[in-house]
Amino acid sequence: MKNSSINQKKINEIVDDEVIIKQFFERDERAIVNIEQKYGKYCYSIAFRILLNEKDTEECINDTWLKVWDSIPPIIPEILSAFIGKITRNQAINKYKYENASKRVNSRIEKTLDELNECEILLNNNVSEEMDRKELENSINKYLEKLPKQKRQIFVRRYFYLDEIKEIADRFNLKESAVKVLLHRMRRKLKSYLENEGYEIY
């Protein structure tokens, strides 16, 4: 970033995403102020659910803004909120793994990530090139688009927002056992779908 100080004066109007993206392309540091103003609470809630620690969450959010700054350009996000949310989630998971690398933990985060071992390609670095990663994301999105709305929402709540099974069951008025069965079936079908798309699942 430029060395000039960012104007921290409170912004009364929420800036449109198109304007924010344009600011990033122009390397205008007001873009950082604007995404923090517009998406700060949203990103904080994503990161805190994973890290459960205010200090780590704040560090994660700062890393997120830097990552967004480095990513735009060249990337032009189709949906800025989804783009920033995904970066926040990935930063938080990476920080969680780093902080707990030498510990024996049995947390809800570990349990959630372990469930995706059936589709390990989603968690490892087998897809190393950015273009391949984009194609993988597109394949996963196509799979999710084919799901009924409720199943798609359940999958996203579990594996993007990392909601607990009970939270999902309460949200959708389902039994916990039913949620577990639905998630298991969707993971298996996703694995099969990706294999048919030519991805190697380990």
pLDDT higher at 67 or 198: 67
pLDDT, tens digit, 9 for 90 and up, residues 64-102: 999 999 999 999 998 999 899 999 999 998 898 888 775
Nearest to residue 162, comparing CAs of 65, 73, 81, 96?
A: 96
pLDDT higher at 118 or 113: 113
* 13 and 101, same domain (yes or no): yes
Q: Count Cβ atoms within 10 A of the Cβ of residue 119 and give its class: 0-12 exposed, 13-18 middle, 19 or more buried.
A: buried
Distance CA 180, CA 196 (A): 24
* 72 and 37, same domain (yes or no): yes
pTM above threshold 0.75: no
Q: Which residue has the tokens 């990706």?
A: 194
* DSSP per-residue letters across 9-59: PPPSSPPPHHHHHHHHHTT-THHHHHHHHHHHHHHHHHHHHHH--HHHHHH
Chain centroid offset of residue 46 CA: 8
Domain with residue 42: its CATH number is: 1.10.1740.10
- The boundaries of the domain holding residue 88 are 1-105
* Mean residue pLDDT across the chain: 83
* 164 and 80, same domain (yes or no): no
What's residue 100's pLDDT? 77
What's residue 104's pLDDT? 55
What's residue 57's pLDDT? 96
What's residue 12's pLDDT? 46
What's residue 4's pLDDT? 40
pLDDT, tens digit, 9 for 90 and up, residues 7-41: 444 444 689 999 999 999 999 999 999 999 999 99
Q: Determine which of 9-13, 44-48, 168-172, 174-178 has the lowest per-residue pLDDT on average.
A: 9-13
* 122 and 197, same domain (yes or no): yes
Q: Tell me which of 52, 70, 105 is where a domain ends.
A: 105
> Residue 136 pLDDT > 60, yes or no?
yes
**Are residues 40 and 96 in contact, defined by beta-carbon separation less than 8 angstroms?**
no
Number of domains the chain contains: 2
Q: Tell me which of 53, 72, 105 is where a domain ends.
A: 105
Q: Which residue has the tokens 């298991």?
A: 184
Q: Count Cβ atoms within 10 A of the Cβ of residue 55 and give its class: 0-12 exposed, 13-18 middle, 19 or more buried.
A: exposed
* 78 and 20, same domain (yes or no): yes
Confidence of residue 6 (pLDDT cuts 50, 70, 90): very low
